[in-house]
Structure 1
Amino acid sequence: MSRDEAGTDASTGADTGASTRAERIEIVTRGEGRRSYTPEQKVRLVAETLRPGATVQGVSRRHGVCSSLLHRWRREARGEAPQRRVPAPRLLPVRLVSPEVTDAPVPSSRPVDTADPQVEIVLRNGRVLRVGMTADPAAVACLAMALET
C-alpha cells in the first residue's frame, strides 16, 4: 500500500488523514451565553479599531467580538445617539360599516359613495381615517403612521 504526499492511499484514493499540510479548524460554540464587556475592554477594542490599517472586521475576528458591537461602541464613543428602528405598523381594530345598516350616524364631511365601500380606521389619538376598500394597504399604513404623530 503506497501513500502520496497528501496522505491518500494511491490504490484506492481514500484519504487516510495523514496529511503533511497543517490546517486550522475553528469550532464556534454558542453554549456560553451572552458575554458582557467592561468599559475598559470596550475602550481598548474601540481604540484598536482606530489604529492605522486596522479594520473593525479584523479586530472582531481577532477577539471573537461581533462586528456590530464594535460599530455600536464606536458610535457611542463619538457621542452619537443610538439608532432607533422604525416600528412596524401595528394592526388596529377595524369596524366595517355598511352604508345601509349603521348602529349610529357616522359623521362625514362628504357623501358616502356606495359604489366604493369605505373602511373607517379610528387611530389611537382619536383621529379617523376613511379609505376605500380598494386602497393600497402600504399607503394606508403610511397615512395611519403619519396621522398618529
Structure 2
Amino acid sequence: MARGMAGTDASTGAGTGGSERVEIVTRGERRRSFSAEEKVRLVAETFQPGETVTTVSRRHGICTSLLHRWRRAARGEVPSRRAARPRLLPVRLVAPDAGPTASPPPPVPDIAPVPIEVVLRNGRVLRVAVTTGLAAVARRAAAREA
C-alpha cells in the first residue's frame, strides 16, 4: 500500500497495525411471531422486581421497542402516531348572502393558529388563516380558479 499522499488510506481508525476484524451480521431467521400467551408472559416478566425491559428483551432475543409496544397495548394505550394523523375532508365553499356576516371565532390561547387549506377545482391549494372571513376566502378562491 502506498502511503505517500495524505488521505489515501482507508481505515476505521481502530488501529494502525496488523489486520482488522470486520464482522458482518445478517438475519438468517424469518420474522418471529408470538402468541398472546407468550406476549402476556414476557410483559409480566418485565414487571418483576429487579427486571427491566432491556434485560428481558436481551434474555429472549427480542427488540426492546417490541416489549414497550406490548406493554402499552396491555395498558390499553393507542399508538400516538396513528391517532395524530390528520384527516382531510372535502369542503364546498359557498359565497355568503348579502346578510350580516358572522365574526371570526376568537383565538384560543396557547395554540398556534393553523392555516386552513382549500383544494380548488383546478387542483390549486388556497391557504388561509382561520380568522379570514368567508367573503375574502370566496373572492380569493374565485380569483385563483379563473
For normalisation by structure 1, the TM-score amounts to 0.41
TM-score, reference length from structure 2: 0.42
Which is greater in Rg?
A: 1
